Structure 1
Amino acid sequence: MEEYKDIYTIGREFGSLGSAIGYKLAEKLGIKCYDKELLQQAAKESGFCQEIFETHDEKPTASFLYSLVMDTYSSMNYSNAPFMDMPLNHKVFLAQFDAIKKIASGESCVIIGRCADYALEDNPKTLSIFVHSELEDRIKRISKRLDLSERKAKDTIIKKDRQRANYYNYYTSKKWGEARSYDLCLNTSKLDIDDCVEVILKYREMLNN
């Protein structure tokens, strides 16, 4: 019988502190957190260079010209004909999808974004979480973090959220940010990082009882 590990997936609005919560949760539990690290793992497993994953990271499509150039490169790495016929963004998604499943099969961990909840929806030990926050709070955080004007910070947030939503909605059968798509939703305008971690741990404890 397969032994499942405790997996935590975190979807997040840009500027909601979702990544910070993921890393804090992982630190508290003594397990790994995969965010950009997932791109490195997927690149290593697939044979694609990491730059390709970074370019396509949580984006549903790429320009035709870039895809054409990168498809020429990627054709040197795979010999499977059906796989070869796929658009590059699909190849990248599948490689990342496989990396997520492989990581989750070998260790308890936290995985941030990248449709991990969808990739692991058949894993009974996966707890999917979505972190959101009031726009005003996110604008202040991003303005400070990236040294942007509040207007520019707002534009950046809207763009990043749209990219993440399009990516999630494109590749999954669920809707990004909709409560029914996740086990637990947390509002960081009302709870700080430590509070969110405690809520997640308490929720897991209740599920295990």
Structure 2
Amino acid sequence: MIMNSIITIGRQYGSQGHAIGEKLAKELGIPFYDKEILAKASKESGICQELFEQNDERASSSFFYSLVMDNSYLGYGANSNWEMHLGQKIFLAQFDSIKDIATKGACVIVGRCSDYVLEGYDNLVSVFIHADLEYRTKVVMEREGLSEKKALEHVMRTDKERRSYYNYYTNNRWGDLNNYHLTIDSSIAGIDGCVDIIKEFVNVKENKNE
């Protein structure tokens, strides 16, 4: 099968979305983008990469924060567009990077509103990975060496940040099944099962479009 799909993966924190996306891309032999988007957007926009990392999938509504940052960090029209706060500059830089990535062919992109950015593309397959809170808490406990209480707090806080970011910058609602072609419970399917389900779905969709 010649792959031409761009697969975007939205995910709840701790649902293993990154691991699923990485394994999927490896098995399909196509590029994988997660944090790589931040480096690409930083390089192309002139905005310091540290600011992308600090604001990654967080809806920063603080105009004051953008004012106190030194202009040399911002780039991307900072001298002429002070009305645009830092979060918007970072979102638009990532938006442009994701669009550019999509022109290069089949790939897997994790998070950063990529399903919304590429909405309307015929070759888009948008996926949302979710799992019950207990499963996700255990994943984060093991992965990050946190206590159950700290892991639970981290999961809930990160989900809130991702939800706020997505809802702030798009016309959609984060996690709403109507926004995705496919949603999968990774606590049931596991990483390998999720990969197999997505591959089969992509195969069906591509054959339907032939």
Is TM (by shorter chain) over 0.5? Answer: yes
Structure 1 Cα separation of the partners of residues 76 and 141 of structure 2: 41
TM-align CA RMSD: 1.8
Alignment of 1:69-80 (within 5 A): 69-70=68-69, 72-74=71-73, 78=77
Structure 1 Cα separation of the partners of residues 113 and 120 of structure 2: 13
- Maintained 8 Å contact 2:63/2:86: no
Q: Which residue of 2 aligns with 1:96?
A: 94
Using a 3 Å threshold, how does the CA distance of structure 1 residues 69 and 197 change in structure 2: closer, same or farther? same
Return the letter of the residue paired with 2:186: T
Using a 3 Å threshold, how does the CA distance of structure 1 residues 181 and 159 change in structure 2: closer, same or farther? same
Structure 1 Cα separation of the partners of residues 78 and 188 of structure 2: 51
Return the letter of the residue paired with 2:11: R
Alignment of 1:179 with 2:205, yes or no, is no
Aligned-residue offset at 1:72: 2.6
Indicate which of 147, 150, 157 corresponds to 1:149: 147
Q: Which residue of 2 aligns with 1:25?
A: 24
- Maintained 8 Å contact 1:71/1:88: no
Indicate which of 91, 115, 118 corresponds to 1:117: 115
Using a 3 Å threshold, how does the CA distance of structure 1 residues 145 and 180 change in structure 2: closer, same or farther? same
- Maintained 8 Å contact 2:71/2:78: no
Q: Which residue of 2 aligns with 1:51?
A: 50
Instruction: Say which SS state the counterpart of residue 103 (structure 2) adopts.
Output: helix
TM-score (ref. length: structure 2): 0.92
Return the letter of the residue paired with 2:143: R
Return the letter of the residue paired with 1:131: I
- Maintained 8 Å contact 1:5/1:105: no
Q: Which residue of 2 aligns with 1:16?
A: 15
Give every structure 1 segment of 4 or more consecutive aligned residues whose post-TM-superposition deviation is greater than 2 Å.
62-66, 69-81
Alignment of 1:37 with 2:36, yes or no, is yes
Aligned-residue offset at 1:65: 4.5
Structure 1 unaligned segments of length 5 or more: list them.
none
Aligned-residue offset at 1:80: 7.9
Structure 1 Cα separation of the partners of residues 165 and 89 of structure 2: 14
Aligned-residue offset at 1:64: 4.8
TM-score (ref. length: structure 1): 0.92
Structure 2 unaligned segments of length 5 or more: list them.
none
Q: Percent identity?
A: 48
Aligned residues: 205
